[in-house]
A and B are shown apart, each in its own frame.
Chain A
Amino acid sequence: MIHHSESLIFDLEEKARKLRVEALEMIHRRGQGHPGGSLSIAEIIAALFFHHLKIDPENPSWEERDRFILSKGHACATLYVALAYRGFFPVEELKTWGHLNSRLQGHPDRLKTPGIEMTSGFLGHGLAIGAGICLAARLKGFKYHTYVLLGDGECQAGILWEGAMTAGKYRLSNLTAILDYNDVQLDGPVHEIMPLEPLREKWRSFNFEVIEINGHNMREILDSLDMVLEIHDRPQVIIAHTTKGKGVSFMENDAFWHGRAPDDEQFVKAKAELLKEES
């Protein structure tokens, strides 16, 4: 396995911090959005967009690019920040989020935002769509890889398992699901609302290779992303154990912050906490 340098790890961790601060700033500015799930995916998005994905901002529709679908579309603030800093659209445009005529919709819109592969918002679609993309790649002889970032609450949706079944049937080894397992959904703890466990066994029984990591540990994320490329006979899921609201003490593990923007005072406090980690 490739050894990732300390400087790469450090750089990506800083990118993740930037994603958190700016995503929260977007949510605060707009007074709308989903801070909890946007904060929990920061390291995963940083690893993908600033290191792992084969994408070209100059040519967003490059046919052989890797595909990324944010199936948990409500966490789009983090993705928008990543896309802007990767050069898919001007960073300045992040301020237009939610305005009329903005290219940045409340949830991802493939027709409006450069770099968004697929419209998402209502949960459960990403994996089956990813399966279709992988089947098409196989027919066309392309080698690109498709990554689908799932929420944990989303795993309660039947259609997600329809997609999993299809991916398993066709042994779509170019498909990787990444599960943001923060154990909090809109109404409360996932393990209370509708438990997912035993989750590892569920995915295994659907013919997925299962890798479990700490979703805030950059080295583990990078290693797992390398590992999935070595699996050639089945789709994979990276179960990333995360903390909802990660990095902001009063948001962590609290369903209250699933879909609510911080007020001015709360934002100042949150930002200070996120930046303080630097020292």
Chain B
Amino acid sequence: MEKASFRKAFGEALVEVGAANSNVVVLVADVSSSVMTDYFAEKFPERFFNIGIQEAGMVDVAVGFALSGMIPFINTFAGLFLRTVEQVRTCVSYANTNVKIVGGYAGLSDFKDGPTHHSIMDIAVFRSMPDIVIVGPADATEVKKILPLIAEHEGPCYLRISRADTPLVFDENHKVEIGKGVIIKEGSDVTLIGNGVMVYRCLEASKILEREGIGCRVINIHTIKPIDRELVKDSAEKTGCIVTVEEHSIIGGLGSAVAEVLCDVHPVPLERVGIKDKFAETGPDFETLLDAHGMAVDDIVRAVKLALERKERR
């Protein structure tokens, strides 16, 4: 399967967004060649601001831009945005400023630099803040499709961008709408709800399960907040059990968001695949690290079987 780079797709899409709207400005905290905002810098130097290693200050400078009617995209590693939690809470979420926070090197994708550089709780933290839209695209195609929508959306967003090259799930005909989940394939026994780079692994798991006669509905939830409640409810009703799959702690991320919907509207057995309340470690490559820390295709298959057992016991 063809692979493509998330961050390259992001860097290119950002240039397009900047070309389409002269109010778009880009701020970065000294990592422009890593998160590929250097494309934007080259094309629109007057709208590019390297603020240095001051992530908290970068948030506030962006707030100033937003107050002046501009659309700032602020960039650093996702894990470093945890340094800015109060700035984001007070000046972006509470003050409702139109700041687009782009967490690069999300999840375990900076496999080589270890847990200091991983980001496995960013969604949990920002999801608790009112009015922030949270998006984690599934592949490079989706990054390109969704970035213009994020620029158009009036209000704060947190966008998660992987460092990895991952298989393309979608082609150019892919349709994206903020807040709407995407059914990639239908099946009646279980629903796999994936996010980000794990969507591809959900599809791989579904192929193994189908060979065993287990039909999987596979859903891509690119918008974790606001989550597509209707689609989660529909899946619970139609398949009777759900497995969530995320490259994030199972506390506070996609799994929690789905659990909250299920509790409210249609409780069914739910298994959550992700990082189980621990830190990962440094790895030789991204895929190996995912495999070693609970996010292997086999982990998804096992979780599905557990969910099915629980469903049958009901």
Asked if residues A162 and B64 are in contact (CB atoms below 8 Å), the reply is no
B69 within 8 A of A: yes
Residue in contact with B95 in the complex, picked from A110, A131, A133, A165, CB distance below 8 Å: A110
Residue in contact with A166 in the complex, picked from B51, B68, B69, B72, CB distance below 8 Å: B51
A139-B70, A159-B87 known; A132 vs B96 contact (CB < 8 Å): no
B54-62, B168-176, B245-253 - interface stretch: B54-62
Asked if residues B67 and A163 are in contact (CB atoms below 8 Å), the reply is no
Residue in contact with A111 in the complex, picked from B63, B64, B72, B95, CB distance below 8 Å: B95
Asked if residues B64 and A133 are in contact (CB atoms below 8 Å), the reply is yes
User: Which residues of B sit under 8 angstroms from A67, Cβ to Cβ?
Assistant: 67
Whole-angstrom distance between the Cβ of A213 and the nearest chain B Cβ: 26
- Cα–Cα, bound, A110→B92 (Å): 12
Whole-angstrom distance between the Cβ of A178 and the nearest chain B Cβ: 17
B129 within 8 A of A: no
In A93-143, which residues have CB < 8 Å from any B CB? 109-111, 117-119, 121-122, 125, 128-137, 139-140
Looking at B47, B56, B64, B67, which has the most chain A CB atoms within 10 Å of its CB? B64
Which B residue's beta carbon lies closest to that of A160? B57
Residue in contact with A139 in the complex, picked from B47, B87, B94, CB distance below 8 Å: B47
Whole-angstrom distance between the Cβ of B47 and the nearest chain A Cβ: 7
B4 within 8 A of A: no
Asked if residues B67 and A129 are in contact (CB atoms below 8 Å), the reply is yes
Asked if residues A135 and B61 are in contact (CB atoms below 8 Å), the reply is yes
Whole-angstrom distance between the Cβ of A149 and the nearest chain B Cβ: 15
Looking at B47, B90, B96, which has the most chain A CB atoms within 10 Å of its CB? B90
User: Which residues of B sit under 8 angstroms from A158, Cβ to Cβ?
Assistant: 56
Residue in contact with A136 in the complex, picked from B57, B60, B64, B86, CB distance below 8 Å: B64
Question: Chain A contact residues: over half helix, strand or loop, or mixed?
Answer: helix
Asked if residues B57 and A166 are in contact (CB atoms below 8 Å), the reply is yes
User: Which residues of B sit under 8 angstroms from A135, Cβ to Cβ?
Assistant: 25, 49, 61, 64-65
User: Which residues of B sit under 8 angstroms from A125, Cβ to Cβ?
Assistant: 60, 63, 87, 90-91
User: Which residues of B sit under 8 angstroms from A132, Cβ to Cβ?
Assistant: 60-68, 72
- Cα–Cα, bound, A118→B67 (Å): 8
B46 within 8 A of A: yes
User: Which residues of B sit under 8 angstroms from A140, Cβ to Cβ?
Assistant: 68
Over the window 44-58 of chain A, the binary record of Cβ atoms lying under 8 Å from chain B Cβ atoms (1 yes, 0 no) is 000000000000000
B52 within 8 A of A: yes
Whole-angstrom distance between the Cβ of B101 and the nearest chain A Cβ: 14
A118-B63, A122-B86, A135-B65 known; A129 vs B91 contact (CB < 8 Å): yes
User: Which residues of A sit under 8 angstroms from B95, Cβ to Cβ?
Assistant: 109-111, 118-119
- Cα–Cα, bound, A109→B96 (Å): 10
User: Which residues of A sit under 8 angstroms from B91, Cβ to Cβ?
Assistant: 118-119, 125, 129
Whole-angstrom distance between the Cβ of B57 and the nearest chain A Cβ: 3
Asked if residues B25 and A139 are in contact (CB atoms below 8 Å), the reply is yes
A110-B95, A119-B94, A122-B86 known; A129 vs B54 contact (CB < 8 Å): no
Asked if residues B61 and A131 are in contact (CB atoms below 8 Å), the reply is yes
Which B residue's beta carbon lies closest to that of A127? B60
Whole-angstrom distance between the Cβ of B182 and the nearest chain A Cβ: 33
In B259-284, which residues have CB < 8 Å from any A CB? none
Over the window 31-50 of chain A, the binary record of Cβ atoms lying under 8 Å from chain B Cβ atoms (1 yes, 0 no) is 00000000000000000000
A111-B95, A119-B94, A135-B49 known; A162 vs B57 contact (CB < 8 Å): yes
Residue in contact with B63 in the complex, picked from A122, A129, A137, CB distance below 8 Å: A129
Over the window 135-156 of chain A, the binary record of Cβ atoms lying under 8 Å from chain B Cβ atoms (1 yes, 0 no) is 1110110000000000000000
Contact residues of B with A, CB < 8 Å?
25, 46-47, 49, 51-52, 54, 56-57, 59-70, 72, 86-87, 90-91, 94-96
Contact residues of A with B, CB < 8 Å?
63, 67, 109-111, 117-119, 121-122, 125, 128-137, 139-140, 158-159, 162-163, 165-166, 170
5 pairs from A and B in contact (CB 8 Å cutoff):
A122-B86, A132-B68, A158-B56, A162-B51, A165-B57
> Apart from A125-B63, A133-B65, A165-B54, what are 18 other A-B pairs with CB-CB below 8 Å?
A67-B67, A110-B67, A111-B96, A118-B63, A119-B91, A121-B90, A128-B64, A129-B91, A131-B61, A132-B66, A135-B25, A135-B61, A135-B65, A136-B68, A136-B70, A139-B70, A166-B51, A166-B61
6 smallest CB-CB distances across A and B, nearest first, come from A132-B64, A162-B57, A136-B68, A128-B60, A119-B95, A162-B54
